[in-house]
Copies of this chain bind each other. A is one copy, B any other.
Amino acid sequence: MSKFKKGLEGIIALETEISYIDGEKGILEYRGHRIEKLAELSYEEVVHLLLYDKLPNTEELNEFFNKTKVIRELDVRTKEVIHYHNFNIEAMDALMTALAHISQGDPDLNVNTPEANIRKALRLIAKAPTIVAYYQRIHEGKEIVKPNELLPHCSNFLYMLRGEVPTKLESKILDLDFILSTEHELNASTFAVRVTASTLSDIHSAVISGIGTLKGVLHGGARLAVMNMLDEIGSPKKTEEYIMNMINTKQRIMGFGHRVYRVVDPRANIFRDLAKKIAEEKKDMKWYDMATKIEEVVTRELVEKQGKPIYMNVDFYSGVIYKYLEIPPKLATAIFALGRITGWLAHAMEQYSDNRLIRPRAKYIGEHHSQDKEISKLTKD
C-alpha cells in the first residue's frame, strides 16, 4: 500500500465495453467502432450505439427519434427556475441547477432498473439542450424558441438557440462535435459519474457529478480557454509572437497535451478538416488560419525542438469551430456537456450492471498527536 500513482495515472480502475483508446497509435473506438467511421453517422445513431450497444437500423432509428423529439420541452417550473438563474456566469452552472431541479420531478428518480435508467437517459439527453438554449435566450432578453420536432437533435439545438434553422453544414458540424465529444473512456468527468453511480445513487446525481467535473479548465473548460485565447490573440499575424511568448514563459497552451495520447488526438484531426470547411462556407479564414498557425508553432517548438508529446487535443479545433458557429463563449463548456452526457449515461448504466463501490485508500502523511495529551476543552458542556 505504500507506492502510488498521482492522479491514478495509468492505473486500471475498471473494465468497460464502451470505449477503447490506444494512446500510442491514436486509436479511439466506441463499442468497437473506430471514431473515423462513427464521424460519418448522425449523433442519434451514435447515441443509440452507446445506450443500446447496437447501431440502429432505419426502423430503430426512427423509433428512437420519434421517442426523443417529443420530450425535449421543459415543464413550467423548470422554466421558472431558469429565470431565477444568474446570467453573468457560465451556462454550465445553470445546466447543473436545472438538471438537479428536473431530477426531482422525474417519475423514475429513485428507480434503478435498466428500463427506468434508459427512460431517464432519454429524457436527460432530450431536455439538456433545451435548458442551455432557453438559458441563453432568456439572458439575451429574447422570447424562448420551443423545440422543433421536425429537426434532428443537434440541428434543433441550434434552432432553439438562434431562432432560425441552421445551414446543412452547421448542423453537420454540431452533430460531429457531439459525436466526438460524447465518450472518452475514463476521463475525469466520466470517472466521477461512475464513482457516484457506484454507491447506487441515482443516474441524475451521477450525471450532475459529471457536469461539475467537466467544468474545470483541465477538462471541458479547456474549450472556453481556447476561445478566450483566440479572442485575445485577435489576428493570424499576431499568433506567432503570442504563442512564442507563452512557450518562453512556460505557460500551458490550452487545447494541447493529453494524459493518454502520445500522438495527435484522432478526434482533433477530424475536427481540423471540418474547421476548414466551415471557414470556407463562412468566407472567413481568420480563426482557421490562427488555429493552424498555433498548431505549427507548438509542434515546431515543443514537439520537434523539445521532444515533448504535446499534440493538439479535441478541445483545440472544437474551440475554433464554436467561433464559426458563433457560440457565446460562456456556453462552450455546457455544449461539451450536451455531447458528453450520452457517454456519462452509458457508463453509469454499465457501472450499475456489475457494481462494486469505488472506494480507494489514501496514504496518510500528516503527524499523529500524542494520545496522552488532553485535548483542550474549549467549550463549556
Give residues in A with beta carbon < 8 Å to B: 1-4, 6-20, 29, 31-34, 37-38, 40-42, 44-45, 55-58, 61, 77, 80-81, 84-86, 89-90, 93-94, 96-97, 100-101, 103-105, 109-110, 172, 185-189, 191-192, 195-202, 204-206, 208-209, 211-221, 259-260, 356-369, 371, 375-379, 381
Are the C-beta atoms of A201 and B185 separated by less than 8 Å? no
Instruction: List 26 contacting pairs A-B, 8 Å CB cutoff, sorted by A.
Output: A1-B10, A3-B12, A8-B360, A13-B362, A16-B362, A16-B364, A20-B366, A33-B375, A34-B371, A37-B375, A40-B377, A42-B379, A85-B104, A89-B110, A94-B104, A97-B100, A185-B364, A187-B359, A188-B199, A191-B360, A192-B196, A195-B213, A205-B212, A206-B212, A208-B209, A218-B357
Assembly CA distance A269 to B167 (angstroms): 67
Are the C-beta atoms of B366 and A17 separated by less than 8 Å? yes
Are the C-beta atoms of A216 and B187 separated by less than 8 Å? no
Assembly CA distance A212 to B215 (angstroms): 16
Set of chain B residues within 8 Å of A86, measured between Cβ atoms: 104-105
**Min CB gap A348→B, angstroms:** 11
Set of chain B residues within 8 Å of A103, measured between Cβ atoms: 93, 96-97
Are the C-beta atoms of A192 and B209 separated by less than 8 Å? yes
Are the C-beta atoms of A375 and B40 separated by less than 8 Å? yes
Set of chain B residues within 8 Å of A200, measured between Cβ atoms: 216-218, 221
Assembly CA distance A298 to B93 (angstroms): 46
Quick one: closest B residue to A104, CB to CB?
B86
Assembly CA distance A371 to B28 (angstroms): 12
Set of chain B residues within 8 Å of A371, measured between Cβ atoms: 34, 37
Set of chain B residues within 8 Å of A215, measured between Cβ atoms: 199, 201-202, 205
**Min CB gap A223→B, angstroms:** 13
Given A195-B195, A375-B41: A13 in contact with B360 (beta carbons within 8 A): yes
Are the C-beta atoms of B104 and A100 separated by less than 8 Å? no
Known: A15-B363, A196-B216. 15 other contacts (CB 8 A): A4-B15, A8-B11, A18-B366, A19-B362, A32-B368, A41-B375, A41-B378, A42-B379, A44-B379, A94-B104, A199-B216, A199-B217, A200-B217, A201-B221, A208-B212
Q: CB < 8 Å: which of B12, B34, B41, B80 contacts A361? A: B12
Q: CB < 8 Å: which of B34, B220, B357 contacts A219? A: B357
Assembly CA distance A96 to B33 (angstroms): 37
Given A202-B215, A212-B201: A89 in contact with B61 (beta carbons within 8 A): no
Are the C-beta atoms of A369 and B32 separated by less than 8 Å? yes
Nearest 9 A/B pairs, CB to CB: A199-B216, A205-B212, A17-B366, A201-B216, A4-B12, A7-B356, A8-B360, A13-B360, A199-B219
Are the C-beta atoms of B101 and A89 separated by less than 8 Å? no
Quick one: closest B residue to A199, CB to CB?
B216
Quick one: closest B residue to A190, CB to CB?
B362
Of the candidates A20, A94, A100, A369, the one having the most CB atoms from chain B within 10 angstroms of its own CB is A100
**Min CB gap A133→B, angstroms:** 18
Set of chain B residues within 8 Å of A356, measured between Cβ atoms: 6-7, 9
Set of chain B residues within 8 Å of A379, measured between Cβ atoms: 41-42, 44-45, 61
Are the C-beta atoms of A104 and B97 separated by less than 8 Å? yes
Set of chain B residues within 8 Å of A81, measured between Cβ atoms: 81, 84, 101
